Chain A
Amino acid sequence: MAKMRYSDMPRDVSIDNFPSLNVSEKVKSKAAYDDNDKLEHLVSNTEYRKLTTYNSLKKHPSNLSTPSCEQRHRRRLSETLTCGLARQCKTHSLPCNMTLKHPYNVDEQDIDKAKGVLTPGILPEDWAAQLTLLDLNIFSQISPEELSSCSWNKKQKLEVAPNIVAFTRQFNHVSFWVVQEILKGVTPKMRADLITQFIKISKKLYDLNNFHSLFAVISSLQSASVYRLSKSWNNVSKKDRQSFDKLANVFSESNNWRNLRDHLETLRLPCIPYLGVFLTDLVYVDMAHPHKSSGLLESEARRLKMNNILRVISHMQQSRYDHLIQFPKINDYFNSIRYIEELHKFVQDDQYKLSLKLEPLSCQTDKGSKESVNQVLLDSLSLSPAKSTDLMRIRKFSLCKQQQKTNCSKYRSASLPRSFLKKPVIQSAVCNNNSLIHKSDEGILSTVNSRNLLDDSLIEENTLDLSNLNLSPSQTLKGAHKISLESCLRRKVVLKNGRKPAVTTWQRYWIQLWASVLIYYSPKSFKGCNRNDFKREPCKLCPLKGCTISLGDNPDTFLIKHPDQRNTYKFRAESDNTALQWYRRLYHAAKLVHQPDTKLPDNLISFD
């Protein structure tokens, strides 16, 4: 298990960093301990109390904020003992108190990807606690300079305001996860259960004063993809819906976020605020009182108003959640959810498509049919790289089709890149290639390969150059990702729908190979082959599934053939060497996804 994890997840905390642990290699649950240390590293800012043992809790009752907390520990402990699960971390080589280090052996089982947030044995408060610890770790690192720079949304944001960016990404990561989880529900009832679970988690987050993750969850429930699922919402109990409305009301933007501001004022620490409102305030102060070296008066007002905000934030940064307990498994699970910030738009579009598929628009009786058709079209067009022109075309197209169809895939326009619409759902930008390890009863390790959600491909560990695909947990958290190869390439159509086009030209793109997907960036100008000559936002994604890669006639070219779409593209690189490098990588990447589909992955939804 330990071995798997290490090969799976290169991380910044290497084993060398904590040789003092002195735990026998034979220990089956070693990985779990390593995870603890990783967490300890992650949460170094909070006074990390180890994975609090029942004993230490007894010794330090002050760590417990509420009596119910202790009750839970007791309950968990007894569960652990009665379930006999303690064997999982009991070895002779460990000091006896180590056995008790995991009063939560109940959770030793990995989070079931299929069940996700509904994994039995993991309570809403556990999820809430984990989110809170993750949030606090980033929140407490934000420096006043980052805040006063007002540059967290500018180009140099990663350099100037790294922690604000990380905090925002954590927010987006969580909300992405929530939507993704809910859309996993195949029936309205299942989705309702998931929604209910998230409402419960929200309540716990509210109790913990964690407004950051709370708003992330609430936003997801209000996102276009989830909000419209009326059949699912109808299955949510009235009581839970009321709780949700109440919580959502905290984040009402009316009256300049009055509810949230009032609420924050009356709070006592610990608390993790929703930072966004403060960020807006800072931007406005910055704008109202610009930084001027000459006018002393102006900078006085600026300083005063800025400091007022910074003081509030810095006060909240003193929050401690030491009584909360780390769940390495939940942490691993969060880290295993791949999400690339830059591809947010694609992700959101895919989620919306999935939502339309689950509950087609026709169910919504209060919408005119024309609007529904437009909506469907809008949806199908949202992935188009050449949106504006397609918009026109598709609108015309829509007028031809009078009868209302519910399946968005019916409205595929020939002008849209086929690769987007090939699969019923392309879970773009989400990749999960951590192999899940299930401990069977006999203690034999069995490996279940999960899939690359980008292209539905099976990730085979041994055939994969893991260094290209795996992210360290901290990297994933920040939304960073590894691109195995990227460069400027010229592309030409050789065959389109099996036919040779009459006119074809070389198009310049910046292309990145991420896992087994090509990410295209269109050029900003007519010339230039450097990264900055291309747009920052990707214009299309192209999974390599089923593609054949071959070398071209000239040494600086190679071909990608999409057999099912009968499209062939020729690519030209800057040099022969680059072309060869691309060929090799692509060949490797395409081979990966040729693996036969053996088993439905836990993290992918089937629609059949």
Chain B
Amino acid sequence: MKKNSAQQPALHKVIMVGSGGVGKSALTLQFMYDEFVEDYEPTKADSYRKKVVLDGEEVQIDILDTAGQEDYAAIRDNYFRSGEGFLCVFSITEDDSFQATMEFREQILRVKNDENIPFLLVGNKGDLTDKRKVSLNEAQSRAQEWGVPYVETSAKTRDNVDKVFFDLMREIRARKKEDVKGANGRGKDKNRRKKLKCNIV
């Protein structure tokens, strides 16, 4: 992983997915700005990019969150394609949002064509235990079925917020290492042109 650390820290591209109103933007803002949310400027190029220290190594995280654009279903395929890891968020107080994770997972797998894509199932609004509609058991068993970790967060109390992003970055990093080793790399769909060239027979 030290390969290009001389110039630029490794960049990990994380994509937030989930239905509207589950708190994707709240999680992102909490992670990016913490208590300095006044600094947030929606249109700046680096508003969703941050340097962090991951296990002693400086890396950059780039978060793509299309909160507010959930109903623009047609754009998803393309931005999923650019993601290296996914935080699939639902609200534990809303069953519909939990059901929707299934659809997101399917779509991601379809586009990435890779079952082992770094992916975390995140149950947000963990502080609202009295309004819980999705049981811990239910969520855990779905995560298990998919072979992904399940974490409950609260953007409000900041519970596990850093954890989900860091865990996902670790997975992405591990995955990149594996790909370099394997060299026959899967999920190299990043470039259509490249893909097209491969296919000229």
Contact = CB atoms under 8 A, between A and B. Distances in A.
Contacts of B135: none
Contacts of A280: 42, 65-69
A223 B46 contact: no
A276 B29 contact: no
A348 B73 contact: yes
B102 A283 contact: no
A438 interface: no
B50 to A, nearest CB: 12
Interface string A231-271: 10110000001000100000001111010010000000000
B43 A363 contact: no
B188 to A, nearest CB: 7
A283 B145 contact: no
Most chain B CB within a 10 A radius of its CB, from A152, A288, A371: A288
Contacts of B110: 224, 352, 375, 378-379, 382
Given A219-B75, A345-B103, A388-B102, A367 B113 contact: yes
Nearest to B63: A256
B6 interface: no
Contacts of A281: 42-43, 68
B147 to A, nearest CB: 10
B78 interface: yes
Contact of B38 (A301, A309, A366): A301
Nearest to A216: B74
Contacts of B186: 368, 371
B72 A287 contact: no
B45 A256 contact: yes
B115 A283 contact: no
Nearest to A169: B71
Contact of A223 (B37, B70, B77, B95): B77
Most chain A CB within a 10 A radius of its CB, from B20, B74, B113: B74
Contacts of A227: 77-78, 81, 192
A439 interface: no
Contacts of B44: 256
Given A245-B193, A366-B198, A378-B109, A284 B40 contact: yes
Interface stretch (A40-48, A171-179, A572-580, A597-605): A171-179
B26 interface: yes
Interface residues of B, number: 62
Nearest to B80: A224
Most chain B CB within a 10 A radius of its CB, from A284, A391, A537: A284
A165 B69 CA distance: 11
Interface in A142-167: 150, 152-154, 165
A302 to B, nearest CB: 11
Interface in B119-171: 142, 145
Contacts of A309: 42
A279 B142 contact: no
Contacts of B42: 280-281, 284-285, 305, 309
B90 to A, nearest CB: 14
B201 interface: yes
A276 B45 contact: no
A216 B73 CA distance: 10
Given A287-B29, A378-B109, A230 B195 contact: yes
Contacts of B5: none
A253 B79 CA distance: 7
Contacts of B106: 378, 381-382, 387
A532 to B, nearest CB: 12
A551 B19 CA distance: 42
Contacts of A66: none
A60 B28 CA distance: 53
Contacts of B60: none
Given A280-B67, A285-B42, A365-B198, 19 more contacts: A165-B71, A172-B73, A223-B74, A224-B107, A227-B81, A234-B200, A256-B46, A280-B65, A281-B68, A284-B42, A345-B103, A348-B73, A365-B201, A366-B198, A366-B199, A368-B186, A378-B106, A535-B99, A537-B99
- Closest 10 A-B residue pairs measured CB to CB? A153-B20, A175-B74, A283-B68, A279-B68, A281-B42, A222-B78, A276-B69, A255-B45, A230-B199, A280-B68
Interface of B: 19-21, 25-26, 29, 33, 37-38, 40, 42-49, 62, 64-75, 77-79, 81-82, 95-96, 99-100, 102-103, 106-107, 109-111, 113-115, 142, 145, 186, 188, 192-193, 195-196, 198-201
30 contacts: A168-B71, A172-B73, A176-B74, A219-B78, A222-B81, A227-B77, A227-B78, A234-B196, A234-B199, A253-B64, A253-B82, A255-B49, A276-B68, A279-B68, A279-B69, A280-B65, A280-B68, A281-B42, A281-B43, A283-B68, A287-B26, A288-B33, A289-B37, A345-B73, A366-B195, A366-B199, A378-B106, A378-B110, A387-B106, A537-B99
